[in-house]
Each structure stands twice: as structure tokens, then as C-alpha cells.
Amino acid sequence: MKLINLRFSDLLTPPELNLRKKLDQAAVDELAQKYADVDRGRVFFVQSLHGWVLVDGRARLAAALQIGLSQDDFEIVGRGSLVEAMALRYRFNSKHGIRLTGAENRDYIRIVHETAVKADPKWLRKQTAELMGISKSLMSQILIYPEGKTG
């Protein structure tokens, strides 16, 4: 694990990486209390792109800012494109943190695919499915039935 100390103001937080439309303030308050009491050295996950991009820890970052911190140690988890950072964030949060609803999962996968297609018009659905760790049929359903209907 490679750690680097960064100022929070140096972090990029592209809106495409937000898994939820807004943060749960109660969860941020709880994290702020834990952070202040014990967890000052909590590791955030970043990926170097055109700067340092916060891949995971949006609520922890909000909690740290809430208690007046301005920098912390971050774990460097790799280098890559914005789409790769988005996929990494999705895969990490599918096993850790506050679980996403089905609608949040579908919305985020759709946003990842749209971002990939904008960057490379030849990008295929199957590439998004592989990157996100989902089946090609689920990927197609997400794009065909945006509201989660199955036909």
C-alpha cells in the first residue's frame, strides 16, 4: 500500500464519480465523530489521472472537512482514465460502504457507459459490462430499460 499525504483542496471530485445524488448528512455526522475520536488516519482511495481524483471516501472527506481537517493520507490505487476510476469506485462500493439501491446502481452504470462513449465513440456495451463486472445481458437491460423495467 503506497500512501501519499495530500491537501483536500488538491483533490479532484468529478461529479461523474458521485454514486448518489447527495450525501446522507447523518452518516457524515457519524463519520465526523469517529474521525475526531479515533480514526484520524483513515485512508481515502485516489487514482492519479490529470491530478488526484477521489475514488472512494466522499462521505469521509465531507466528515474530515466538517471537523476542520485540511489534509490526510491517501492510498494510491492506480492510474488510468476517468472511466476506469468510475468503474473502480463502483466495484469498491459494491462490497463496502453504504449500499446502493437498484436504481442508483443502474443510474451509475448508465453514466459510466455514457462517459466512456463520449471519450471513445467506438466504445461498446460489452466493454462497459466487463469493466463494471456485470453480465452483457444486464448491461443491455440497463440501457434499454432505464427505469429498471424488464419489458
Residue 53 makes CB contacts below 8 A (sequence gap 6+) with: 11, 12, 13, 14, 17, 46, 47, 82, 85
Q: Provide the percentage of residues in the chain whose pLDDT is more than 70.
A: 77
Q: What is the pLDDT of residue 149?
A: 56
pLDDT of 44 above 70: no
Nearest to 109 by CA among 128, 95, 124: 128
**DSSP for residue 151:** -
Read off the pTM.
0.65
| Measured distance CA(143)–CA(113) in Å, rounded | 9
Q: In what helix (H) or strand (E) does residue 11 lie, and over which residues does it extend?
A: strand 11-12
Cα gap 41→121, rounded to integer Å: 41
Q: What is the pLDDT of residues 46-87, one digit of tens each?
A: 666 667 777 777 777 888 888 888 887 777 777 777 788 788
